[in-house]
Amino acid sequence: MTSSLVVDGGSTDRTQEIVSSMAVTDPRVRLLHNPDRFTPFAFNIGIAAAAGEYVAILGAHCRYDSNYLSASLRG
């Protein structure tokens, strides 16, 4: 099963509220917390919680084409 892990470092822009509300209705969405607030810690938290064959690290302040992941896997 594909899942979406969101690692939040204490943002104040409603990220936690939005992701938590999504997780209530979609078990594939999980909110993880990064108390250290630095990106490398967030990567480690997310990778440790990930399960599956592939892991993709995507930036929250970016927009991706709808086929971004499938195109990346095709190489």
pLDDT tens by residue, the chain, 75 residues: 678 999 999 999 999 999 999 999 999 999 999 999 999 999 999 999 998 888 999 887 889 999 999 999 987
Compute how many other C-beta atoms are within 10 angstroms of the C-beta atom of residue 70: 9
* pTM of the model as a whole: 0.81
Q: What was the pLDDT predicted at 43?
A: 95
Per the CB < 8 A criterion, the answer to whether 58 and 31 are in contact is: no
Q: What was the pLDDT predicted at 31?
A: 97
For the chain, the helix, strand and coil percentages under 3-state DSSP, each to the nearest 5: 40, 15, 50
Angle at 39 (CA atoms; ends 63, 20), nearest 5 degrees: 65
Q: What was the pLDDT predicted at 1?
A: 65
Q: What was the pLDDT predicted at 18?
A: 96
